[in-house]
Amino acid sequence: MIRIVFYCPEIPPNTGNAIRLAAVTGCELHLVEPLGFDLSDAKLRRAGLDYHDLANVTVHSNLAAAWHALAPDRIFAFSSKGTTTFTDVAYRNDDILLFGPESVGLPDEVLYSPRVTAALRIPMLPSRRSLNLANSASIAVYETWRQQGFAGS
Exposure b/e, 9-46, CB count within 10 A at least 16 = b: bbbbbbbbbbbbbbbebbbbbbbbeebbbeeebeebbe
What is the residue type of 96?
Answer: I
- To the question of whether residue 130 is assigned a binding role by annotation, the answer is yes
- To the question of whether residue 122 is assigned a binding role by annotation, the answer is yes
Exposure b/e, 81-103, CB count within 10 A at least 16 = b: ebeeebeebebeeebbbbbbbbe
- To the question of whether residue 153 is assigned a binding role by annotation, the answer is no
Task: Tell me how many degrees the CA angle 27-6-149 measures, rounded to the nearest 5.
Answer: 25
Residue numbers in the known binding site are: 100, 122, 130
- Extract the annotated binding site for S-adenosyl-L-methionine: 100, 122, 130
